[in-house]
Structure 1
Amino acid sequence: MATGRQRRSGGNRNGRSGGTAQRGRSNQRRPRDNDGIIPVLAKAVRDIEHGAQRNQLTSSHRTRFQVCALLAREERARVKADTEVSDAQREGQLKRLDGIATILAQTAAREPSLFHLLDMDAEISDAARRVKKEMQIEGGLEPEPDPEPVVLSEVETMRAERKVVPPSVRAAQLANPFMVPDFTDAEKRKLTERRLVGWELITPLLNSFEQAPNGAPACMALPEPKTSLSYRGQDLMDHQSRLLAAVAKGHRTFLLADEPGLGKTAQALLAAQAADAYPLLCVVPNVVKTNWAREAERWTPERSVSVVHGDGDTVDGFADIIIVNYEILDRHARWMSEHGFRGMVVDEAHFIKNKKSQRSQHVLDISDHIQHRVARPLLMALTGTPLINDIEDFVAIWEFLGWIDAKKPGPVLMGKLEETGMTPVDHGFYPAARQAVVDMGIVRRRKVDVASDIPARRIADMPVELDGAEGRSIREAERHLAKRLAGRYDAAVEARRNRGEETRGIDAELIRRVAKAELTDETNTSTGENVFSMVRRIGSAKAQLAADYAAQLSRSAGKVVFFAKHVDVMDAAQELFTSRGIGWAAVRGEQSSTTRQKNIDAFVNDPDVQIIVCSLTAAGVGLNLQVASNVVLAELSWTDAEQTQAIDRVHRIGQDMPVTAWRVIAAQTVDARIAELIDSKAGLAARALDGSEEEFSSVDVQLEALVSILTEALEERAGA
């Protein structure tokens, strides 16, 4: 339906019959061609067309282009629904609207950056709303009233009040009041085919990775560097030089998914220099914020660096590189969206995989604003583990990079998909689509392929027996859990029997349903013994044993990195190290950035600090601890990715010793089952990105642990 309403005082200016008082007279004459909204649109699209022909499109042209498309669409719907005009009159008006649509399409073909404005879901700016209102009035339509002001909730009001503009940033904005959007390098891409219009394509794109054939490449073609590159006397490795060569050739969006330890931070900083993408915004985890500042000073010393803390009172708004952590991004997202950044790097990009989270929304919003102001900004998503739980972890990263929007591929990727000449009903579409996404800028290199000088690593499981009352209590709790699951299963079988259904043997599908129900109950209650509370108790019971082994390692093998998940495990380890006179430092979530970096420096540089006690969540990413070659994993993670990230704090460029990760596992408990399940999940990223022949698995470890417990209980009962 048309959004504009016929103005009663305007008579018959838009070719309609007007109000009922004028109906008799209106039906006796043909609407004049110069009346209504259509001639207003025709005049506007001709002006836009001439601007495109002269390569002189302005922001005003672009705004009117979108408004013309909106009004033409609305007028077409109104004309089709109007029962007060003759068929001949209706046909004539539709033909004139077809002419306007043709001019819009031809103009967009000449200037592809206009295509997204034709989308029905394209964002309508305040300027577009004003122009639309003016054109409606000129065409004899009564614009709809302005929307009611939005009343913010208490939470939204508090959030809005947290928005800040640091003093130095305000000064920078005043010094540069006219930040004109840059469209000079807009990529020209004409969509010669439109066969994919109307297809749902996001799911097929994800499936193309999930179903990747063995050996399928997961890295875009990277050019050979012209010469061996070095910075400040440090030679870059070949894989690093290749990425910079791609930037030098003009590529600007990258999912840099190199395995941890291959120098992604240096590559991103040097890429910004190669692309002259300044000012550059780096969004990073809090734990590595200080390290990013150091790396920037190390690799690009001629560029000024500023780190945002708190409300940003000390930030330098004129800096070339601005570094901010996810945790405070909500306060700064507004000014960062308008600051004129020409590049944006998101470190540990798997942090934004949940699009509903506030930090993900802020990252996507800032990226979207940058892409609207700069035609080809440098956008880089850095993560050694792009897939944590599911293939859909890709979606937010692709959207950040501008490869897709919320519903469909962006113009460049759509062009590549159109060039395949296929649709999702064709079997060959999937490998071709996967390659199209890879060519957008996925860069994935493995240590074994590009850094053969990094020594091997291995994971050694250390089974321990939980003796005493605590061990007996844990095993008893596991038996109670198994009994409760079996009771649920029996109740389900009985319900089937009452419905006249037969259950033969042990029903694997019913086991999974029971496990899912138990898991749902466990996540919604804080009472009772469940798999989560048992795993935590097991971690506490293992604490002394794991710490004792780390102490022994430090005496015989040098520095040790000790990882744990819970505070009480870290506390117990630190107490043991203190009691034995072993120097230690700690990296924990509650520390300030200054304290954290001080402790890291002490571990790296002080020979008397033999062990660093690290939180899996606070220190599992971004740290460089290759001064050690032994890692003790006192508690198990729920994901292989988290475990791998921890180990790769040590197994990285600069390491000259074989790395061993000692995984402490409580024998004859659910701990052992979880270790096996974590290992089975390792195939996800390998299958999707590395073309590995490992079996693809996206199992939920928590669910599968319950399935394992219930299955074993039922089998034991059947064999009794």
Structure 2
Amino acid sequence: MARRGQRRTGATRTAPRNQRRGRNLDNEGIIPVLARAVREVENEVQRGAVSRPARTKFQVIALLVREERSRVKSDTEATEAQRAEKLKRLDGVATILAKTAARDTSLLSLLAEDAEVSDAAQTLRRQFLEEAGLEVPEEEEPTAPELPASLNPARRVVPQSVISRQLSNPFLTPDFSAPRPKPVQGGRLATWELLEPLFRAFEYGGASSCMTLPEPTTALRLPPGLELMPHQAQVVAAAEAGHRTFLLADEPGLGKTAQALLAAHAADAYPLLVVVPNVVKTNWAREAHLWTPNRPVTVIHGDGDEIDAFADIVVVNYEVLDRHVGWLGDLGFRGMVVDEAHFIKNKKSQRSQHVLQISDRIRARFTRPLLMALTGTPLINDIDDFRAIWQFLGWIGEKAPGPELMAALEKTGLTPVDPGFYPNARNSVIQLGIVRRRKIDVAKDIPARRVADIPVELDDVIGRSIRDAERELAERLVARYRSALETRSSGVQVEGIDHELVRRVAGWELSDSESAKTGENVFGMVRRIGQAKAGLAADYAAQLARNVGKVVFFAKHVDVMDLAEETFAKRGIGYASIRGDQSAAKRQRNIDAFVNDPDVHIAVCSLMAAGVGLNLQVASNVVLAELSWTDAEQTQAIDRVHRIGQEEPVTAWRIIAAQTIDTKIAELIDSKAGLAARALDGSDEEIAASSDVQLEALVALLTEALERQVL
């Protein structure tokens, strides 16, 4: 498999068909070689730590499986039965690869598109081909690697708003008011290679992976109605006291976003750059408005034509960072947050190079900027993955510890040959700013059950078609409303919007939608939204599964479940499917697999079939990929996890499509939940039915459309 900037070795080739006739094909070709090799990797993973040669072998097997699958599918000389048999055997190898990667998730990085194929991997690939008796193509001359986008002016953009800001302040003054740590000269460790010993210090483990944090302070004033949990307030207090680098590795659900935003506020680290995955970009903007409402926030989409470069907080996703890395390094940021920081663990990937380049330029301009790396990934996985993160934070350079870390290591008076070096070195790194708390550690701080919304953007073709359909539905409702006004015979005149008529029109539309088999209506639109965000919801569930363990994934429609399961299979994440069309025996087998099998990380559940009667408390995280029409249905799903015997606080992550009717439905469900609670407490309010939410969603859609026309 060719990689950008690497040698291409061509596709796998087999001997001509006439040379194979009459021979035992089961023991010929590349498949037996791969089958034996994958068992060797599987056995090593089962024994514990995986060596570098085994990781290389894992990657080469995956590459050759892909190549051979492609070759078999295009082999016109083979019969359909022969192709089917070979594909079946290749699927067997791929299944073992997936199970192996599920046992040691650090192997998944080797399957990424931007994963480096080393010289050792190329050599092993040739050995496998030769062992299989296949023709090995001669190596082509290496092609010149493509320039990184940051060095390729043709790929970079500078939005007009950025130009305006640069013109308004052409002489951006560096700030060196804080003293820089002085390099240690001539210490006892000056001649030692220290990076590998530092990484090994974490492989040995230790009692704690959290720096010493101060007690929360009361100085920070929060917006009305908001309150920090004690563990969150500790990080903010540390920033307020002058600490400026954090590897915030709290488990998901402990409020890392709020901690980062308020730490920036406490440190006055504005303007602030926030680099995030696309799936949480909108959520960061919303959280910034919530926690720091007096700090304008802007989000970069595409080429950034609509951004406000004068904003205090700039949010950009990894996928478009290459277009903006040039001007981002020159804007004068005093703080930088990298969310899901394990995305930059491959230092040779462009996204890592861009992040490191920007942080270097920020440090060159300001002595002590606020730098925060956020990730829920446990520290002890493959510690070498954190090399880029430590470098982003300035704790290490390319070949040696940074001045502050070196000073701390020298202070121990130990060298790597001394037995006490490793625990002391580990603690020296932790005190630079590693913060790791688990839900169970701070259970008293957080609610036993909460729902957290993750807004996602549908910015592809499907997303645009959904917004077009929603606009079409709104226009149809407006036309129906206007027609009803014109034909009204009662003579009643209402100034402005007639809200009673709006509700009647929404009722007519709802009645027609329930009986209609074709045409765009609210039910079809909600289903399309579910399909469009299925991949994003599955991505988020996969991140959770890798970070915190078992996850329950709920969806309403079969096609959403299918797409999610395809995503998990491609990523080598074990899952169990719980659906309404299963026999009782199969359903129970899948439940038992999720509960008892450590390699099954996700339960993919039908909201209708699995929302009641199940006990899945082995998990404490739930992903709601599609919205229910009632809070009761949503609560029933969450209660499969949040039940007697659950020892951890439960978080339900509700995936919501931003700028669509999805957001209105979520707000309505929450408001109806309040009515339901009052009804259960003895109020005269009726518990909301699904039709109430459907009707109110149409009322809101029509009202907003009429208000826009009035404006």
Query: Scaled by the length of structure 2, what TM-score is found?
Result: 0.47
The structure whose Rg is larger is 1
Query: Scaled by the length of structure 1, what TM-score is found?
Result: 0.46
